[in-house]
Structure 1
């Protein structure tokens, strides 16, 4: 089975679809129409049916959009690290209270956590 790659870019108000294997292009007004337009171009130019090939879409995003996505990924990773640090500090706080002789039930009341959550923090 042959695979065709559709390189998709935004061009004004249209999505430009370039199929290098065919050295041909088409366009779509809405992104949801891109796969159908690419498939139609392949089927017309090659005289084949949809079961005879695979289509891979590769969307080329503007650099500004890529920059925002890269920054978002950095922030997500940072948030994961901060959440892990916060969980470690919560565990430390619970252990400190328990080390002072406070029961898990009392620690839960003082910290506004359930006894189950206190037990999870102690045992993690």
Structure 2
């Protein structure tokens, strides 16, 4: 089955849609209309119905937007690492208190954690 690609960019008030396989373009006022407009263009030019091909929509974002998205992803990865480190430190704190003879309930009260959270930390400590 043939695949057509809709290369989509923002152009002023409109979404500009280019389909390289048929070397034709169209536009849409709203992003949600991009597939409909692309399908209509392909049908007019090729005569194919929608079930006779696959459509891949590829939005080409401005460099500044891609830069922001890249930074956001890096920050999410850093946050995940920091969350993991924080959990490891919490486990270490719980282990220290338990080693000093505190019960899990007491350790939770001292650390401001629920008994259930202390229990989770103990179980993942191994």
TM-score (norm: length of structure 2)? 0.96
* Distance in 2, Cα, partners of 1:86 & 1:101: 23
* Distance in 1, Cα, partners of 2:79 & 2:5: 35
Aligned-pair CA distance for 1:123: 1.4
Aligned-pair CA distance for 1:114: 1.9
Aligned-pair CA distance for 1:112: 2.0
User: Cα RMSD between the aligned structures?
Assistant: 0.7
Query: Which residue does the alignment assign to 1:36?
Result: 36
4+ residue segments displaced more than 3 Å: none
> Which 5+ residue runs of structure 1 have no aligned equivalent?
none
The CA deviation string for residues 76-109 of structure 1, in whole angstroms up to 9 with x for no partner, is: 0000000000000000010011111111111111
What pairs up with 1:50-61 in 2 under 5 angstroms?
50-61=50-61
Query: Which residue does the alignment assign to 1:74?
Result: 74
The CA deviation string for residues 54-84 of structure 1, in whole angstroms up to 9 with x for no partner, is: 1000110000000000000000000000000
TM-score (norm: length of structure 1)? 0.97
Query: Which residue does the alignment assign to 1:103?
Result: 103
Aligned-pair CA distance for 1:31: 0.4
* Distance in 1, Cα, partners of 2:111 & 2:50: 61
> Which 5+ residue runs of structure 2 have no aligned equivalent?
none
**Size of the alignment, in residue pairs?**
124
Query: Which residue does the alignment assign to 2:23?
Result: 23
* Distance in 1, Cα, partners of 2:55 & 2:8: 12
